[in-house]
Structure 1
C-alpha cells in the first residue's frame, strides 16, 4: 500500500465487504429473492433456498445457508462438515474459506513473526473475540488485523486495479 490510489482502492474494498455498519462477521440473513442471485448453490437448488431464507414467519438459518453456499469451495469440506459456517467471511476484508484462513495465518506469521492459527480458531478474526482474548491490547490487534488485511489484499493482487484502472486478471 504505497500510493494514495492503492489505499483508496483498499478502503473502498473494505467498505464494500463490511458495509457502512462495519460488520466484521458476514451476515447471511437473506430473503429468497436475493439468495440465488448471490450464491450459485442456491441457483442450482432453489427449493432449498426457500427452506433457509428469512421470511415473515422465521429468521434466516444463516448456518445452513453458509454451509451450503461455501461447501467444497476455498478448501472447505462438504455441507455436513460445517466448514461453510466455521469459515464464513470475517475481518475487514471478509476472509472466507478454510484455505484463505490458512493463508491469512501464514501471512500473519511471515509479517509479524507470531503464529496464530486462524484456521484452528477462526473466531479470532472477529472483533469481539479479539477484545476478549487480548483485553487492553485490542487496539494494537485491530491495527495488526488491518495491516494483515492490507498484506492479504496485496497477495491477492488487488493492487492491479488501482495501478491500471482495470479488473483484467483479477476475476
Structure 2
C-alpha cells in the first residue's frame, strides 16, 4: 500500500493517509516508542536517532535524521494531546541539537489518528496544519511527501518482519 496525500481547500493543511498490514497496537507502538521510531522514521539511507523522548502531554521527542555522509538535521516534536490507540497531536519544528526551534521555519501542528480496520490492518491519517500555504509549500518542496512515504515504506517492512 502507498501513502496518499490530500491538500486542504485553504492550502494550509496536508493530510497523509496510509494503511498498514498490522494490528492497531503494533502500529500505535511504532509511532509512540522512540526505539521503534528510530528504526523506521527516516528515509533510507538516512537514520533517525533519538536524543530525548517523553510521550506524554507536554513531553518532547528530540531527534536527528542522520545522513550517510554525517549530515544531521534536528527536529523537535512537543506532544499536546494523547488518546491511547486513537490519536495524538503535537507541534513539530526543525531545531538545533539542544532543541532550540528554528527561526527559519514555523511550527507545524500534527494530528495523527489511528483506525483499526478490523481485518488486521490499521489506517493512520496524519494531518499537518501550517500557519500559511507558503509554509506548507516550503516543506513539500523540500521533499516531505517523498521522505514521509519512504518512512512509511520502512514501517511496512518493519511490521512485516516482527
Q: Considering the TM-score relative to the shorter chain, is it more than 0.5?
A: no
**What's the TM-score once normalised by structure 2's chain length?**
0.31
Which has the larger share of helix?
1
- Structure 1 or 2, whichever has the larger Rg, is 1
**What's the TM-score once normalised by structure 1's chain length?**
0.30
Which has the larger share of strand?
2
